[in-house]
Chains A and B, each alone.
Chain A
Amino acid sequence: MVEFLTSQLGVSIILALVVIGVMLGSVAYCIFFERKIAGWVQDRFGPNRVGYRGILQSIADGGKLLLKEDVIPGHVDTPLFILAPAIIFLVAFVGFAAIPWGGQLQLGENLVDIQVAKPDIGLLYILGVASIGVYGVVLGGWSSNNKYSFYGGIRAAAQMLSYEIPLGLCILVVVLTMGTLRLESITLQQTEYWGGILPMWNVILHPLAFLVFLITALAESNRMPFDLPEAEQELVGGYHTEYSGLKFGMFLLAEYAHMITASGFIAVLFLGGWHFPWIAWTQPEATAWYAVIAKMLVLAGKITFFIFLMMWLRWTLPRLRFDQLLRLAWKGLIPITLGLFTLAVILVYVGRQQSLPWALLGNAVVLAIVLAAAGLSQVEVTGRQANLPSIRPGPVSTGTART
């Protein structure tokens, strides 16, 4: 038994259970923090009644959702209606399995990886699992047999499909630079230093790719300013209009789980995962239990930062219009990421993929080309096209009142 528990498989399975538990807990508390941050941004208290400063709010919410009626309206397509939240919930929690949590741990004689799964194709696994999520949203919208839900569903489909292309191209930039699809190898390669000081994080090497990836990750997890599929003011609740009780709760939890997965993915791809520079405990050589805990805390800190950033953006930015959203993807992000991909190919070809000056120079060139093209073509990426007639109303006729 002890042999099994200290082997790679045993550690992986224990870690899988721990990760699911931690995810469920932190997802519930993300909702609480979202409301607290909303209160902070809007200069009010936020939830502060249940427990000390509202700390038990999430538990109260869960209990309330559990005791609510599980309405299955008469007009819905019942099997798909039940399947939709199940799919989105499952997908949101499974994607996290490939994230490397804390390097390696010396356990007796074995050196085990603190990672649930270590497939050769970790990157493709996360991407593939994440794209199944669109089925949950679309099925939920379709089976509800409600016009708001339906529009939410097809909006979600168009949005998630459009943003998957720049997302994939951004990840390809990292793959070309690193030459591997394994998330743990990508983390390891980022633990080196330039000039002995500056960590070799991809965010420093490819800042443009990082920015585009951040935008597409927001869009893929349906967060503000890209939350068109559930836009409350336009579509009531979007694809979950007809859902109530814990089924609605599952959509909500899955959204936050998606945020955590996206943040973990960004942290691993661009910010060195569990690596924190200049501290001995968070280097790959440190394999003692306290070092593993330190690495986990570093990764958790990075994830928390991105979740905070997403919440902050939600309560700061206005929502895009749907045509602006699609135009940003197809006319803005896809050309930019094609340029970044070409840049990465050239850097690898000349053997300078890890050279900071070359990469930054290339990024500057791509940025200059993009800005010049945007300026010359007079196509506003998020506005109306220049050649369309103005919709500004003419002078208002005051006329004379009829007597």
Chain B
Amino acid sequence: MILATLEPYAAIGVTILVVMLITAAILVLAHVIGPKRHGPVKDSPYESGMPLVVDTQRRFNVRFYIVALLFLLFDVEIIFLWPWAQVFHHAATDGVTIPLENGGEVGKGFLLVGMAIFLALLVFGLLYEWKKGAFRWD
């Protein structure tokens, strides 16, 4: 049963294996074939010829963090839209209904209202962040 559901992925597995082999072969070949000469200057970071002042792994602009945070919020919300889109399409076109725990059934109208509330919250959040200046990078 599990094997049957996994069958479409067999060829993907083959692809991943073959590409991994190619990647490993490239890395090993490049390491073996090329010459190896080291020197203090060659081993230092390339900073357009300027002498190195400070290490790289230190603080950077906080706005990059804000973008990452906003992405987390929005992407999680958009992942929620994927199954909904699938269900809603079939509810609206084929008249599929979703059974509830209390025995009732709901159709496309229920799904639409639910998504409208969710999307309104999403848009409200977007506008709030916009007003707060989270999208100002200049």
Contact = CB atoms under 8 A, between A and B. Distances in A.
B137 A326 contact: yes
Interface residues of B, number: 66
A50 interface: no
Nearest to A65: B30
B93 interface: yes
Give the size range of A's interface with the partner: 35 or more
A47 to B, nearest CB: 23
Given A70-B30, A327-B137, A384-B138, A181 B45 contact: no
B100 interface: no
A348 interface: yes
A241 B45 CA distance: 9
A385 B135 CA distance: 11
Contacts of A44: none
Interface string B21-65: 011101101110111111000111111100000011100100010
Interface string A377-397: 000000011001000000000
Given A175-B89, A326-B135, A348-B93, A67 B45 contact: no
Contact of A323 (B45, B122, B138): B138
Interface in A320-352: 322-323, 326-327, 330-331, 334-335, 338, 341-342, 345, 348-349, 351
A69 B44 contact: no
Q: Identify whether the interface residues of A are mostly helix, strand, loop, or mixed.
A: helix
Given A69-B34, A119-B8, A164-B75, A16 B42 contact: no
Contacts of A349: 92, 108, 112
Given A90-B20, A351-B92, A66 B112 contact: no
Among B30, B46, B56, B93, max chain A CB count under 10 A is at B30
A13 B119 contact: no
B8 to A, nearest CB: 5
A147 B33 CA distance: 29
Interface stretch (A153-161, A198-206, A268-276, A291-299): A153-161
Given A90-B23, A351-B93, A12 B11 contact: yes
Given A145-B57, A338-B123, A348-B92, A168 B75 contact: yes
B68 A157 contact: yes
Contact of B23 (A86, A331, A334): A86
Contact of B45 (A19, A73, A98, A326): A73
8 contacts: A74-B38, A75-B45, A93-B15, A247-B27, A250-B26, A338-B123, A349-B108, A385-B136
Given A70-B30, A176-B85, A177-B89, 14 more contacts: A12-B10, A12-B11, A16-B15, A17-B14, A65-B30, A69-B34, A82-B27, A117-B12, A164-B71, A246-B30, A330-B70, A334-B74, A345-B88, A349-B108
